[in-house]
Amino acid sequence: MSYQTILFEAADGIARITLNRPDKLNAFTAEMHAELRDALDKVEAGDTRVLLLTGVGRGFCAGQDLSQRKGGTTAPDLGETLDTLYNPLIRRLRALEMPVIGAVNGVAAGAGMSLALACDITLAARSASFLQAFAKIGLLPDSGSTYFLPRLAGDARARALALLAEKITAEQAAAWGLIWKVVDDARLMEEAEALARHLASQPTKALGFIKRALDAAAGNTLDAQLDLERDLQREAGRTEDYREGVAAFLEKRAPIFKGR
């Protein structure tokens, strides 16, 4: 499949997906969703150990492309749109058994903000901004925002962000725990790439288990979570990388993890 709305490359264990509709601030279209599905198939099938998501131009992603809604006379079934396009994307990124880095290069609005929140480690350029745009057009936050926002920022901030639909700066987003950190614009991709190289050299299976355990924690009792940690640790203990990690520690050398 050749891509019109995203850029994709994978090399040395790092896959890069770059949203590429800069004149529309990388707003999502059905075509973009299809291309993302195809790219994620490749990420899942190959020897990728980390995924880096970013956007071309001054936007990270402005959410659903609203021009696709223009002129419609019958009410669209947005539930179906979520079911078929947005929810599978968010579910897939969270379930991906490798870290997903979001490098938010510009405004992240609507489902674009949800996408940024769904990444495992999100960096943002100092000039980037975040907007729960949904209420401005008569909708509620979707694509995971009502899940991520209160968990990351707390209920008071989640409510105000969603109800007021006011844009916040990258620094505010970091101060509220919505993202990992803010970096100077000129250094965003350098930092994101360095992080990707580091994570691609780490024990990928364990990193996948970490994601799984942290995601499950939100809905688990302590008892259930302790059981899950036991089960996943059992699996981690059987990996080649665990053997290597312990051997390297005892031999006082740097480990060489293979992601197995």
Q: Write out the residues near ligand LHQ by the rule CB under 6 A.
A: 24-25, 27, 62-67, 78, 81-82, 86, 107, 109-111, 131, 133-134, 137, 139, 142-143
Closer to ligand LHQ by CB, 51 or 168: give it: 168
Helical H runs in 96-134? 111-118
| Residue number, 110 or 259, with CB nearest to ligand LHQ | 110
Output the smallest distance, CB 239 to ligand LHQ, in A. Answer: 38
- Cβ distance to ligand LHQ smaller for residue 48 or 64: 64
At its nearest, how many Å lie between ligand LHQ and the CB of residue 79?
Answer: 8
Query: Which residue's CB is nearer to ligand LHQ, number 64 or number 239?
Result: 64
Shortest Å, Cβ 132 to ligand LHQ: 9
**How far apart are CB 15 and ligand LHQ at their closest, in Å?**
24
With CB atoms as reference, the residue minimizing the distance to ligand LHQ is 63
The beta-carbon contacts of 192-197 under 8 Å, at least 24 apart in sequence, are 192/52, 192/54, 192/101, 192/103, 192/123, 193/14, 193/52, 195/101, 195/121, 195/123, 196/14, 196/16, 196/50, 196/52, 196/101, 197/12, 197/14
Q: What minimum distance in Å lies between the beta carbon of 139 and ligand LHQ?
A: 5
Count of helices and strands (H, E) across the chain? 11, 10
**Cβ contacts of 59 within 8 Å, gap of 6 or more:** 22, 24, 25, 26, 27, 105, 106, 107, 108, 112
